Structure 1
């Protein structure tokens, strides 16, 4: 059953309010940009940050706050929107490390700057220039996330409570990214891949945003424990769905070619599961094809067939279902306000049952 909420606090309304906070903040940066510095960096960051309208992480942060009994207001929406700038930092750097060409149906930030270099016939290597410029854009997003969080308008002692978890989240993401880097040079196990997604993506998508919102609201230890019991398995399910879409999704909807993860050799739980279940001939073909930089559509199709034939795709769907059930069971027992519980039920469904 769907419970009607005020338009400004439903998912679409909150996403628009977060976007408005981001636009206001980004527009304030332009006059402070040093004289003589090209505006292209600001424009590229602005386009990238505003390209995706779902605002999943800010929504979880907002409902962590509301779950602790705090009222709606502009300051919490602004603080939550800061998570979107941190998300932009993580995506830009992830695309650099993966060498991805597209994101959200557009060129990645490093690809954009490489194209600018080429179009203007500048000297030097356009690829290296693109990576360097994108690295700076990601760093800028990380710095701005911190600034926007502190300038949200909430009392400073409240911000300090939330910022402690903000720091934990940043550390986990970087540690998870390093684990992902390490696992990418070996075959990897299902358990190892699950650890990577928990650290690199699941926690910073669901659990930490929820807990940051609760910390800002001065929620107690019981609430924080309940939010983690809900957020960790839901975050796993979210990332597992993302990995399935990366290989089997519709590129028109996902904005990313379905060959990218296979060509990059992305060490997902699904690939680790396929390796575990593969016969000798299937395992040999996985070794030959997976992570091949020039993997073509036919090779990608063969890998998808192997993943399906081994039962790995069905295994991941089963794991998504089990993780989601675990999360919803924890949510039912969590000490939350009724509006927050209802909103989180709907948000949980939307992040798992999605096609992009």
Structure 2
């Protein structure tokens, strides 16, 4: 990028910071151990190839923060805020926020381009990569579709549990666990019983991962999550947690949600009151119970396939990492 123009160096620096300094690396971890569980061996080429998933994740997060107008990510300014700030600091002409929005769209797109490039230049045999390519394509399509479903669900104010579960499945569940596992399995040329078990493990675990994310988006500690407390409530997210609260809350609680859900000016006192509605309605308990049930189903499915022992053990550990996290 420096060979093209010095003005691109802040782009490289921003993406280096975003991709390398933070994040849980769950998607490449599931892909790696999906490969290892199916009998594949470790290699630098495998790690480099699966790092493509981090660029897909960076693209999704950069665009997601722009769509949600989020101020922060991982305790730092979101990409669109970072570049709006750069515009203001430089005293450039035009609207700083419009510049920041344009930068976020382009940087997110660039990460998606680089994910393609790294998948094919990580060093694995081209025939091996070609075998996994359909899974990679399906995963990227599904997460984009899931993001649109999330947007249209907020716009239509659909707060049904069924709708929330569908959005969670396509925006997060398949993308976070199932597809990375199947990507690793395809690279390893795993037999059908392994891929069936991986789907049986990945789908419920991915949904449980998203439900934990929903809880953290309302009850999480900003020092751990890197986002303001109650941010999902300000953004008007129609999550399983919110849908469960609205289905069980009394008239006063529903009225409070109708008035404040999706309001950018939502203050901390009102966040506290909305949290009380969620807790008192039993929605928090119901969501925690659902996480436990889904995790149990995932682990049961994993037992149905013959996997390499270390791979199986780590996938069991990852199930608890994904569903018991605090950030």
TM over 0.5: same fold?
yes
Shift of 1:187: 3.2
Secondary structure of 1:355's counterpart equals: coil
Equivalent residue, structure 1, for 2:134? 164
Equivalent residue, structure 1, for 2:326? 355
CA distance in 2, matches of 1:53, 1:36: 28
Equivalent residue, structure 1, for 2:177? 206
CA distance in 2, matches of 1:35, 1:298: 48
Equivalent residue, structure 1, for 2:93? 123
* Cα root mean square deviation, aligned: 1.1
CA distance in 2, matches of 1:221, 1:135: 39
Shift of 1:37: 4.3
Match of 2:22 among 25, 38, 52: 52
Shift of 1:36: 5.2
Shift of 1:72: 0.9
1:178-189 superposed matches below 5 A? 178-185=148-155, 186-189=157-160
Report whether the alignment pairs 1:143 with 2:113. yes
Report whether the alignment pairs 1:326 with 2:297. yes
Shift in alpha-carbon separation, 1:251–1:36, aligned structure 2, 3 A: closer
Q: What do the CA deviations read for 1:286-341 (whole angstroms, capped 9, x no partner)? A: 10011112111111111111111111011100000000000011112222111110
Report whether the alignment pairs 1:41 with 2:5. no
Equivalent residue, structure 2, for 1:290? 261
Report whether the alignment pairs 1:155 with 2:155. no
Shift of 1:147: 0.5
Q: What do the CA deviations read for 1:253-272 (whole angstroms, capped 9, x no partner)? A: 11111131111101111001
**Structure-2-length-normalised TM-score:** 0.97
Report whether the alignment pairs 1:309 with 2:280. yes
**Structure-1-length-normalised TM-score:** 0.90
Match of 1:110 among 71, 76, 80: 80
Count of residues in correspondence between the two structures:
326
CA distance in 1, matches of 2:235, 2:5: 39
CA distance in 2, matches of 1:332, 1:35: 54
Shift of 1:220: 2.1
CA distance in 2, matches of 1:259, 1:53: 20
CA distance in 1, matches of 2:293, 2:66: 33
1:184-333 superposed matches below 5 A? 184-185=154-155, 186-333=157-304
**Contact 1:230/1:328 (8 A) holds in 2:** yes
**Contact 1:226/1:335 (8 A) holds in 2:** no
CA distance in 2, matches of 1:328, 1:151: 34
Shift of 1:180: 0.3
CA distance in 2, matches of 1:163, 1:179: 24
